[in-house]
Structure 1
Amino acid sequence: MTHAVPALRLSSFYFAYYAVLGGFTPYWSLFLKDRGQSEAAIGVLMSLWYATRIVSPSSWNWLAGRSSRPIRWLYIGCTASLLSFCAFLLPLGFAGLFAAMCVFCFFHNATMPQFEAITLSHLHGVSERYGAIRLWGSVGFIAVVGLFGFLLDHLAVAWLPLLMLPLLAGTTASAFANDYGPAQRNPRAAAGAGLSERLRRPEILAFFVACLLVQISFGPLYTFFALYLEQHGYKPSVLGLFWVIGVAVEVLVFYVSPKLFLRVPAQTVLLVAIASAALRWLATALFPESAWIMTLAQLTHAINFAAFFAAAMQLMAQYFPGPLAGHGQGVFYGFSSGIGGALGALVAGQAWRFGGGRLAFELAAGFAAIAALIAWRWVRPAPPPDQASANA
């Protein structure tokens, strides 16, 4: 019997979750600067967004995998994320901001890997439909980046936490409207069986290392892009416009991805996406004063983020099928996004300290180039189950 995919409910969570990031990712460093933090301190604080990904996804999926009602952990995570974010309304110094960032980032990062597993549990056998659902996250991101860029031209950046609270409330409300697909409402039976064997496969190891390096390369963008543009004379509304341009074309890629992956192997898309990232960071490093080159660089976000992420999810569906999806997502977010993101923020902070934004983005280009080499040489699709068993 076929299972109807609850696309509207799933899409609403992506919309709300990434709307939060639309306020956080481009503008949070400006908020931290307004709170009197130095560039080095901002690098440390922003790295916590990624550092918490090292432990929160795996721990949350471990708890969900051993629960008689795993969806309750999504509810708990979203509610705790909303409540902990209220701390940023207080006049905190570095220590207080550090503690608040640790708590908020832990809970907020715990929810998306679990929700990715929830989405894939509804898309069993039709994983190519993922992009058409995930694109609503990009729509939410665009809407908030553009709106907040306009608002922050007229409001003090100190208003940012208050502006973001309704978005977190929307994420929590959407969480309570969702659940796992019928086949995985109780995933306890597969609490990691076969996971270690899969993690030892060369193509999966190469995939995770490539994703780690790509995430490191995004460090300057996520940590200092706002300050980098501010140094070169751009207003917050222009920063918002750059993000809107990048994410608008990202929506198009997610929309066409179902047809794309019926024609082009996921590993090929992954390789092209990573190579485009190296070119993007190099252009950003060398030509920050050129608005049209920066616009072209932002347009490549469609490839080096959207196409990359869609291809990564296709490969994840192959590498970690069925009940292993949640555990695989925990590893993906914890290792590639968590460790990679934390290292990216820290490396970007130190590069900024010694050589400014140009050095930070030049190093980013180098990390992406190495990732492209690894993807070209070693990343392959998962072998069929019978062949995998024979190779084990």
Structure 2
Amino acid sequence: MTVSVRDRVPVVRLSSFYLFYYAALGAFTPYWSLFLSSRGMSVTAISVMMSLWYATRVVAPSSWTTLAGASSRPIVWLRAGCLLTLLTFAVFLLPLPHVWMYPAMVAFCFFYNAVMPQFESITLTHLGNDSHRYGLIRVWGSLGFIAVVTLFGWLLEREDGSSRAGQLPWMMLPLFALMLVSALNNRYARDISRSSADGQGFWQVVRRPAVLVFFLAAFMEQLSFGPYYTFFSVYMDHHGYRTSMLGVLWTVGVVFEVGVFFTIGRFFRRYDASWMLLIALLSSTVRWSVTALYPQNLPVMLVVQSLHALGFAAFFAAAMQMLATYFPGRLNGHAQGLFYGFSSGLGGVLGALIAGQLWGIDQGRTAFLVGSGFAGIGAVLCFFALSLPLLRARAAAA
């Protein structure tokens, strides 16, 4: 009897890795800047520290996927990366002087950023032609993010409203241990041994105009997120929000994100993924403008935070769908490394550094407005180079 792809996909094992990886990210992204602040670091120093998170994304994903692709046992690299993530993060349990915080951050971020692109490729080897089902597995990462953001928001807040952010490393360490356990229980679906033609074929695909625009649009989207990922908690704290409310604000968008991941497969069965990429870029353009102009209006901020479901979840699902289309089979691992390294890596580090430079002008307003402009540029590129040609092709065929 033939076993279908649906039956062969180890959904629980794959979902568990997303769950623990993004649960840890749910502690890191909203609260790590508060932890650094509790260690006495200035806003400028925090922006540099957080930029290291993105800087390592420039080199870690591509180097790790290359090493895995050249290995006879690529899964070993995933497991080694998770173990090294756990060990390097444990260093933050020590009372490090500020000067030693920087190399510790580089080491931890390198290994933490290295593993997810490889795991995305592992997931897609299991899904095969059913890549539209990606959201049903990836959604568990969103659920883990929601749970940790909400829980840690309450746990880190003292009765007097002050923060226990100094305890954050102790609270995050078990999440990285569970991520390692999941990595030990996962594997590729089939042989992905490296072909000598892979490198040449990969760069031939990258040089296609539509693919180049896709990567550039993704870069602009990640660039626009610089103020948010680096300073949103500090921004909201400056406008009088308590730590528990910060957790709510971070969670709102991810709650809607869950709905997107559950339903977006239907969209991809009817429409090209580039349309969803365009929608995501437009939503970020609106989101950062409103965040800049109305930060003290809680109802407005709750509504605009829900756009995270489009700016992040829909964007990411569309990107994975487009990567699966542009780079099938063994080429996908290389593509994941380039996608994470260029968009999230280079885009993220420049976004964080630009936000740090603009922050002193008016405590964040200008930084978020500039972020809105970056997303708008990405939307223009996406429409004219990806979406509009589809409209013309459909009109010509009609």
TM-score (norm 2): 0.94
Correspondence for 2:187 = 179
Alignment of 1:75 with 2:75, yes or no, is no
Instruction: Tell me by how many angstroms 1:381 deviates.
Output: 11
Correspondence for 2:174 = 166
Correspondence for 1:153 = 157
Instruction: Tell me by how many angstroms 1:50 deviates.
Output: 0.6
Partner AA of 2:18 in structure 1: Y
Instruction: Tell me by how many angstroms 1:188 deviates.
Output: 5.2
Alignment of 1:201 with 2:218, yes or no, is no
Alignment of 1:360 with 2:364, yes or no, is no
Q: Distance in 2 between matches of 1:12 and 1:270?
A: 27
Cα pair 1:88 1:100 within 8 Å, conserved = yes
5 Å-filtered alignment, 1:234-313, equals: 234-313=241-320
Percent sequence identity is 54
Q: Distance in 2 between matches of 1:381 and 1:142?
A: 36
Aligned residue among 210, 219, 226 for 1:219: 226
Q: Distance in 2 between matches of 1:14 and 1:382?
A: 35
Counterparts in 2 of 1:65 and 1:25: CA distance versus 1, 3 Å:
same
Partner AA of 2:292 in structure 1: A
Q: Distance in 2 between matches of 1:381 and 1:66?
A: 39
Instruction: Tell me by how many angstroms 1:91 deviates.
Output: 1.4
- CA distances 1:302-360 after superposition (whole Å, capped 9, x unpaired): 11111111111110101111110100000000011100000011011111023321011
Instruction: Tell me by how many angstroms 1:264 deviates.
Output: 2.2
Range that drifts further, 86-95 or 222-231: 86-95
Q: Distance in 1 between matches of 2:307 and 2:205?
A: 32
Cα pair 1:16 1:168 within 8 Å, conserved = yes
Instruction: Tell me by how many angstroms 1:260 deviates.
Output: 1.6
| Unmatched tracts of structure 2, length 5 or more | 391-398
Q: Distance in 1 between matches of 2:69 and 2:14?
A: 20
Correspondence for 2:395 = none
Aligned residue among 94, 101, 109 for 2:98: 94
Q: Distance in 1 between matches of 2:388 and 2:338?
A: 18
Q: Distance in 2 between matches of 1:97 and 1:359?
A: 29
Correspondence for 1:323 = 330
Alignment of 1:349 with 2:356, yes or no, is yes
| Unmatched tracts of structure 1, length 5 or more | 384-392
Correspondence for 1:390 = none
Partner AA of 1:62 in structure 2: T
Correspondence for 1:22 = 26
Counterparts in 2 of 1:85 and 1:310: CA distance versus 1, 3 Å:
same
TM-score (norm 1): 0.95
Partner AA of 2:210 in structure 1: E
Partner AA of 1:260 in structure 2: F
Matched residue pairs, number? 382
Correspondence for 1:386 = none
Q: Distance in 2 between matches of 1:370 and 1:358?
A: 19
Instruction: Tell me by how many angstroms 1:181 deviates.
Output: 1.0
